[in-house]
Chains A and B, each alone.
Chain A
Amino acid sequence: MMEALARWFADLHERTGINLVVFYDPFDAARFFRGVLLTVEMAALCIVASVLIGAVGAWLQGSRWRCVRALVNAYVELVRNTPSMIQLYFLFFGLGPYIAAHNAHGQAEPLISGFTWAVVCFSFYTGAFNTETFRAGIDAVPRQTEEAAESLGYTRLGAYLYVVLPLALRISFPALSNNLVNLIKMTSVAYAIAVPEILYVSNQIWSDALNVPEMMNVVLVSYVLLVSGFNALMARIERRLRVPGLGC
């Protein structure tokens, strides 16, 4: 079956010049598939980390201490006001070389890989947006609900974790989905520091096969599929989380 498909695509190239090399050349197919997997892995790690950062950030924004609030606001402003690619370049080329250890040949080798820097960068970038999104959700939870929780003996953290955050999460869910979709698309920026994700491997392939228009189509369709899949998942979660009477 796979072989027949590969032959069909090789034949398509012969007949029409449309060179979808990733579907018939085993070497290119393998590196493209690894690229897709790496994008998925990077996106999954960033989604989890950025949601956690957003939840913690939003909680700290409501802190009693002014310095904590100022610190969180400073983080949100700094990260939101600089492009993610500039941050990534800064981390990888500006900061990375200083966090290094000598390897077996006495060469100072950075301890943090490009992949890790990308995950850190995109998580904190989207984490800043999630902080604001959750903050808006928390603000929409009626103050009386929080008071009711406190009157039942919840601590501030307890009320936040078990009452406010679950409600805020539902309110901010559509905006959160948007942030996370942007995050998935942002992973392609890691191409600039040679993390072999979809765009990077595609660039390698079109440089060898010189099939730029074809690969651009393949990249576009790959992202459409990835993001559509993610949207379907989020819609499912949103339905599961629905509380009758909350919101619309």
Chain B
Amino acid sequence: MNVHALGRISALLLTAVGLQFATPAQADAIDDIQQRGKLVVGGKSNYKPFGVRNAAGEFEGFSVDLARKVAERLKVGLEIIPTEAANQIQFLEQGKIDVLIAAMNDTPERRKVVAIVEPGYYASAANVMLVKSAGIRDWKELKGRKICANQGAYFNRHVQQEYGAEVIAFKSPPEAYSALQNGNCIGFVYDDNALTQRLEEPQWANYELPLESILPQPVAIAVRHGEERFHALLTELSQEWYRAGYIRELEQKWFPGKRSGYVAELEKKYAAGSK
């Protein structure tokens, strides 16, 4: 191999490395969506009550109702692509989906890579579903204990670093629930809304949620950075949902009997703004 060939190959390699970090040029998302006639939304398929598949195989849930509203506003059809916490942001960055309505929590790290729509459409926090016999009454008692988790959740690191738990993170929540039932860990650290609902099922009678929820965060819609028009439209829609009481309606539908302080506060803020 001569020097020229080597030079050419290294130039190629450098280009490949450069390409990895370059962001693809995008046309305006709204034009794309309307031309296509279909809004492609990244959503959850195993996260009750935000997004699950029902017996007929269709998506339903809090986030799904909002996705439908967005599609209606754009006057296009709706397709939902199931995502996981560990891949949702990559799906958005790669343009596989137009928008994330996947019960994703708003965190500073995520704000750097995607454009979060404010206000968030709900709020959630982390809690841990524990086997009753472990008798845990404080987060600090998790030190050195095995705790199952979902890969990609924003609170995993905190539980590991602050409380010293040994976090065993699985690819998706069903595997983590299964590992908890099999005794691979004494608890499952996950979103408090999802755990509360799960605990009502009879097969979880020997488990409890004895601790206070930690790290509350808004759950928000996200689009790619630079999609100014789409972002503005979603911001307007989100505010409208609070003003019209639609978020409250969805809360009653998907969390019967619950009245979260987060929703009440935002309702007040946007109702006041409209006067």
Whole-angstrom CA separation of A125 from B123 in the bound complex: 46
Whole-angstrom CA separation of A212 from B170 in the bound complex: 18
Complex contact A107–B153 (CB within 8 A):
no
Whole-angstrom CA separation of A204 from B150 in the bound complex: 10
Residues of B within 8 A of A108 (CB): 182-183
Nearest chain-B residue to A89 (Cβ)?
A: B175
Complex contact A107–B112 (CB within 8 A):
no
Contacts between chains A and B (CB distance < 8 A), count: 71
- Given B157, B168, B178, which contacts A93 in the complex, CB threshold below 8 Å? B178
Q: Contacts A18-B21, A110-B184, A210-B113; is A105 near B133 (CB within 8 Å)? A: yes
Residues of A within 8 A of B134 (CB): 105, 107
Complex contact B20–A213 (CB within 8 A):
yes
Whole-angstrom CA separation of A207 from B154 in the bound complex: 7
Whole-angstrom CA separation of A164 from B266 in the bound complex: 80
Nearest chain-B residue to A101 (Cβ)?
A: B183
Nearest chain-A residue to B114 (Cβ)?
A: A210
Residues of B within 8 A of A18 (CB): 21
Residues of B within 8 A of A96 (CB): 182, 184
Complex contact B151–A203 (CB within 8 A):
yes
Complex contact B86–A207 (CB within 8 A):
yes
Contact flags B161-187 to A (C-beta < 8 A → 1, else 0): 100000011110001001100111010
Q: Interface of B with A (CB < 8 Å)?
A: 17, 20-21, 85-86, 89-90, 109-110, 112-113, 131, 133-135, 151-154, 156-157, 161, 168-171, 175, 178-179, 182-184, 186
Complex contact B152–A207 (CB within 8 A):
yes
Question: Which chain A residues in 103-147 approach chain B with CB under 8 Å?
Answer: 103, 105-110, 114
Complex contact A107–B186 (CB within 8 A):
yes
Complex contact A97–B183 (CB within 8 A):
yes
- Given B85, B112, B135, B169, which contacts A194 in the complex, CB threshold below 8 Å? B169
- Given A192-B171, A207-B151, A217-B17, output 12 extra A-B contacts at Cβ < 8 Å: A93-B182, A97-B182, A108-B182, A109-B183, A110-B183, A110-B184, A114-B168, A203-B152, A204-B156, A210-B113, A212-B90, A213-B20
Q: Is A27's CB within 8 Å of the partner chain B? A: yes
Complex contact A210–B183 (CB within 8 A):
no
Residues of B within 8 A of A3 (CB): none
Residue among B20, B109, B184 with max Cβ neighbours from chain A (10 Å):
B184
Complex contact B86–A194 (CB within 8 A):
no
Give 24 CB contacts A-B under 8 Å. Answer: A93-B178, A97-B182, A100-B182, A100-B183, A105-B131, A105-B135, A106-B133, A107-B186, A109-B183, A110-B182, A192-B171, A193-B170, A194-B179, A200-B169, A203-B152, A203-B169, A204-B157, A204-B169, A207-B152, A207-B154, A210-B89, A210-B112, A212-B90, A217-B20
Residues of B within 8 A of A100 (CB): 182-183
Residues of A within 8 A of B156 (CB): 204, 207-208
Q: Is A237's CB within 8 Å of the partner chain B? A: no
Q: Is A224's CB within 8 Å of the partner chain B? A: no
Nearest chain-A residue to B110 (Cβ)?
A: A210
Q: Is A209's CB within 8 Å of the partner chain B? A: yes
Q: How far is the CB of A198 from chain B (nearest CB, A)?
A: 15
Q: Contacts A203-B86, A204-B169; is A213 near B151 (CB within 8 Å)? A: no
